[in-house]
Structure 1
Amino acid sequence: MPFAERPLEETNPRTANFRSFSRVQTPTAGRTLARWLGGLGVIILLAGFLPWTQNIRSNGQLTTLRPQDRPQTVPSTIAGRIERWHVREGQQVKRGDTLVSIVEIKDKYFDPQLLQRTREQLAAKIASLEENRGKTVALGNQQDALRSGLRVSLDKARNKVTQTRLKLNSDQAELRAAENDFNIARQQLARQEALYQQGLKSLTELEQRRLKFQESTAKRQSAENKLGASQQELTNAQLELSSLQAEYQDKLAKSESDRRSATAYQFDTEGQIAKMRNELANLSIRSGYYQITAPQDGYVVRALKEGLGEIVKEGEPIVSVMPNAPALAAELYVKPMDIPLLSVGRKVRLQFDGWPALVFSGWPGTSFGTFGGQVAVIDNIDSQGQYRILVTPDPDLEPWPKPLRVGSGVYGWALLDNVPIWYELWRQLNGFPPNFVGAPGEGKGGKAAKKADKGATASEEEEEKK
């Protein structure tokens, strides 16, 4: 088909002389495509300045914030044999409900009257202890009597020693008097013999003086013997005093030894009584372990032991229980390079397995089927190269779905700073981490609050100094 000629007004004067130019028509499709591409480029350029919420993506599973809300196994405290099951799997139980009944398998506890007989043994030991205490009191009274007798005997012996000492003093005075008489008689005899040699005294008078000298000599000898006897008597009295004290000390030592033996037996009996009381308490507590009860309200998940008559060991789990109405939390794992960007209280959006959702991670406000949360716990150590965080429901947003169960999968992204899309694309291409933002509440208001806290602390310190 021949091309239509150009209108005369569009003919270029320079090409009017050429017939080829007059028969060529410029196509409009290229112009339309260029316009569309230009418009699309402008839209993409403008879209690059739209806000984009940076986030840290992670996945994990649902768990509980409190350890007591997590699924637990109920063990058997003692070894035994299963006698009866009181529940079935999936049954709801309350705290204290009996789950399983077991019976003893150790011959030490086979006696059905073991508690009563242990109480009788304990009562007999207590009676023996009371009698031993009476013996200890009697030995103490015996010691008091011995000490009283010792004091009386010592007083008598001391009095005898004092009397003997006084007699010794008298004998010493008598000996001094006899010695004086002896000296005087000797001097008189010497003078008498001198006068007799001169013929002034007779022999009769000399012999009388000699007789008088012999009498004074005899008196002095008698006084010396009497003094020696008094000294021996004093020594005997002192020895008697010492032996008396030693004799009573021996009796007191023997009585003290008996008392200490009774006291030692008393302490040993008290130890045996304490041991028997401990054994009785253990038996009483052990009798309560024959019924394995639910530790808290929940549901019986699975029986780990089946049938009747099966033997269970000490601490071996028998049944697993899921607590009722647990406080759910999302357990997410974050890369080490992203963990410095998180802090307690950071907002997080969550998507749960089995819950329909339409997610735009950069525009959390336009997402559908996601739920809000906030970071409650950040581990200080890594777990297989990643750090664990616990996210709890945000109290200011919609609650989490009630059908959620512990262990179901969850996908989350922690919300960070708002940046343009072009910056986010540039960051992703270069492998840079997201922008570091402070903890929630550390904006202007947070700084003002910190300043207010510092001012309050300073005022309190000034008041304390005053």
Structure 2
Amino acid sequence: MLNITHNQLNKKVSIDNYKSSKKVFHKRHYRHFNNFLKIFAVIVLIFMFLPWTQNISGKGYLTTLRPDQRPQTIQSPIPGKIEKWYVSEGDFVKKGDTILFISEVKSEYFDPNLVSRTGQQIDAKTRSILSYENKVKSLENQIGALYNEKKLKLEQARNKLLQSKLKVKSDSIDLKAAETNLSIAERQYNRTLTLQKEGLKAVTDVEEKSLKLQETQAKLISQENKLLATRNDVVNAQVEISRIQAEYTDKISKAQSDKFTAESSRFDTEAQVSKLENDFTNYEIRNSLLYVRAPQDGFINKAIKSGVGETFKEGEQLVNIMPSNFDFAVETYVEPIDLPLLHKGEKVRIQFDGWPAIIFSGWPNLSYGTYGGKVIAIENFISDNGKYRVLLAPDLDDHPWPKDIRVGSGATTLALLEDVPIWFELWRKLNGFPPNYYQPENNQVDNKKK
């Protein structure tokens, strides 16, 4: 009552005779409440000195321990069109099982006999290589024959040159003899002419000597002509040697040019064969890619591309598959301020979404429904969400994780740190301080050993 009225009923009417007033308006009603406050204060004071385990909380989700065990999408390395599905969503497939069949969408691969035709081209080009090899061998034999023929022709021409030189020597000697005969004939004619003038020789003797002189002169001129002709034969023999060398050099060079052309054609054909063999292998592999197969044992989660006749580009996602054999792990994220407090091998408590749990963050021993984990990897670079990623594996010393959990479901993690009094933890949180810098006991022992 506010007691703002002048008509005060409590002074006119007595309520002391009522039971309720006797229980409430007695003189010692405040003592029980004071006792309660004292007891409560003592309990709170004792509670403040109870131990409290500092922890780092984080939110994450279930994943797998190894990258090859995580859900993956299957892509096609070539563009195509869906022709037939061999599986349905939820089916179990083994490694190598066919998931779907696709067909080509590029015009250069439409020919169904492309592989066999490429093989025929390879056979034809291979036979062409054999023909070029035989042509090269024939040209090598021709070049060898030309060398032998050149050698014989040059030897014949050199012999003729030698004969001509010997004949020049013989004709030179004959010329010297003719000159000597001419000198003798001139002396005899002059002597006979002198004797005829003295009357010792007849005119007929002079005429005979004159005729002999003329014959000797004619022989000398003839011998000179013969010597010149022989010398001309020497020159002709030398010219013939040069002609033979030039002729066979030209023939051999032409044969060698044909040989090099054949070898070049052979090398070019070998390059074409190598390219065709590469295309043949690529076509065979491409044909095998028309059947999209499972990369490992697992379950078909979702068909990203569906229907028949739908086209897609190379590298597009077709099917999502979940491996059947995997090891669970938890991927959680922590604030950058808490990252220095985490170390590999530390114990972590995990609560999975959908699994009932009673959690006392500061008293992990009293919590129920949490599972043990262990830090196995800490990210060195911050993630897109502004936190650091931490990977947790099951703690083998704790009870095993539930079998019915699924990859991708949520999880809450508590990384356990030092034990401190509750009053200290309240004081730390009121002031916004981070937990105490924590070093695992194993690291301290290792530091002592060092």
Amino acid across the alignment from 1:81: K
- TM-score scaled by length of structure 2: 0.76
Whether the 8 Å contact between 1:346 and 1:440 is mirrored in structure 2 is no
SS at match of 1:124: helix
- CA change 1:228–1:367 in 2 (3 A) is farther
Whether the 8 Å contact between 2:47 and 2:422 is mirrored in structure 1 is no
Q: Give distance in 2, aligned partners of 1:106 and 1:171.
A: 91
Per-residue CA deviation, residues 7-44 of structure 1 (Å, 9 max, x unaligned), is: xxxxxxxxxxxxxxxxx999855873575266336414
Map 1:171-190 onto structure 2 (within 5 A): none
Whether the 8 Å contact between 2:352 and 2:411 is mirrored in structure 1 is yes
Paired residue for 2:411?
A: 410
Paired residue for 1:348?
A: 348
Whether the 8 Å contact between 1:71 and 1:321 is mirrored in structure 2 is yes
Whether the 8 Å contact between 1:122 and 1:273 is mirrored in structure 2 is yes
Per-residue CA deviation, residues 194-216 of structure 1 (Å, 9 max, x unaligned), is: xx9xxxxx999xxxxx9999999
Please give the root-mean-square deviation of Cα atoms over the aligned residues, in Å: 4.1
Paired residue for 1:54?
A: 54
Whether the 8 Å contact between 1:80 and 1:312 is mirrored in structure 2 is yes
Paired residue for 2:46?
A: 43
Paired residue for 2:401?
A: 400
- CA change 1:296–1:223 in 2 (3 A) is same
Whether the 8 Å contact between 1:73 and 1:320 is mirrored in structure 2 is yes
Paired residue for 2:274?
A: 274
Q: Give distance in 1, aligned partners of 2:264 and 2:389.
A: 61
Q: Give distance in 2, aligned partners of 1:332 and 1:221.
A: 127
Q: Give distance in 2, aligned partners of 1:178 and 1:434.
A: 138
Per-residue CA deviation, residues 408-461 of structure 1 (Å, 9 max, x unaligned), is: 11111223344444443343333333333446732225643xx5xxxxxxxxxx
Amino acid across the alignment from 1:309: G
Map 1:351-370 onto structure 2 (within 5 A): 351-370=351-370
Paired residue for 2:293?
A: 293
Map 1:41-190 onto structure 2 (within 5 A): 42-44=45-47, 46-47=49-50, 50=51, 52-164=52-164
- CA change 1:37–1:391 in 2 (3 A) is closer
Paired residue for 1:315?
A: 315
Comparing 256-265 with 226-235, which one deviates more in the overlay? Answer: 226-235
Q: Give distance in 1, aligned partners of 2:408 and 2:319.
A: 19
Amino acid across the alignment from 2:68: Q
Q: Give distance in 1, aligned partners of 2:220 and 2:345.
A: 120
Q: Give distance in 2, aligned partners of 1:40 and 1:383.
A: 45
Per-residue CA deviation, residues 216-263 of structure 1 (Å, 9 max, x unaligned), is: 999998888777656544443333223222211111111111112211
Whether the 8 Å contact between 1:62 and 1:330 is mirrored in structure 2 is yes
Map 1:191-340 onto structure 2 (within 5 A): 232-340=232-340
- CA change 1:38–1:120 in 2 (3 A) is closer
- TM-score scaled by length of structure 1: 0.73
- CA change 1:177–1:57 in 2 (3 A) is farther
SS at match of 2:442: coil
- CA change 1:87–1:163 in 2 (3 A) is same
Whether the 8 Å contact between 2:49 and 2:421 is mirrored in structure 1 is no
Amino acid across the alignment from 1:268: D
Per-residue CA deviation, residues 273-310 of structure 1 (Å, 9 max, x unaligned), is: 22222222222222223322222111111122333333
- CA change 1:32–1:177 in 2 (3 A) is farther
Query: Gaps (5+ residues) in structure 1?
Result: 1-23, 197-201, 205-209, 452-466
Q: Give distance in 2, aligned partners of 1:276 and 1:438.
A: 65
Query: Gaps (5+ residues) in structure 2?
Result: 1-26, 195-199, 203-209
Q: Give distance in 2, aligned partners of 1:338 and 1:221.
A: 130
Amino acid across the alignment from 1:258: D
SS at match of 1:325: coil
Paired residue for 2:20?
A: none
Report the alpha carbon displacement of residue 369 of structure 1 after superposing the two structures with TM: 1.6
- CA change 1:157–1:327 in 2 (3 A) is farther
SS at match of 1:338: helix
